[in-house]
Amino acid sequence: MRLMALLWVVCLLSSCATITRGRDEVISVDSDPSGARATIMCAGNISASGTTPARLTIPRKADLCRIDVEKSGMTTQKVMIERGFNASYWLNFVPGLGLPTYLLSSGFWGGSDSTAVGWLVFGVAGAAGLVVDRVTGAMYDHDPNVIKVTLQPQH
């Protein structure tokens, strides 16, 4: 049972994206020449701006994002950012396997009650990670999260 508890803690801490990645993501924006205005605009009136080189922070759940990099006398560059799932989120399924294992061990295998309860706790931890990561948005990553643009003079 001690091994089961240790395994549960290790999986929970290593797989929950909210713990390992957080709710927000930093998007690095650089330009040549530097000193340009970088603005991220996303759905839901989410935005951030700064001067290149810039580190702009947006919520991981932000969707439909675009970065505009502009400087006086230069053509504005626009870069679309896609939102996808990060690998930490999928690791929540590892402890989540404890739920079906609990059902099997408590009924079909005839395992001990303490083993069945251990699998139940293991499974609930994985399910909790899936829900928490979805609610906080930590399950998402943006691509690209490092942007480098070369601004061209306007004609």
- 41-100 pLDDT tens trace: 999 999 999 999 999 999 999 999 999 999 999 999 999 999 998 877 666 666 555 445
DSSP summary character for residue 76: P
Average model confidence (pLDDT) for the chain?
80
pLDDT score recorded for residue 95: 55
pLDDT score recorded for residue 72: 96
> What is the crossing angle of helices 2-15 and 113-136, to 10°?
10
- 5-14 pLDDT tens trace: 655 565 555 4
Is 84 buried (19+), middle (13-18) or exposed (0-12) by CB count in 10 A? exposed
pLDDT score recorded for residue 115: 58
What pTM did the predictor assign? 0.70
Domain edges within the chain = 2-147
Residue 107 pLDDT exceeds 60 = no
Q: How far apart are CA 98 and CA 111, in angstroms?
A: 14
Contacts of 67 (CB under 8 A, 6+ apart): 27, 29, 38, 39, 40, 41, 78, 79, 81, 147
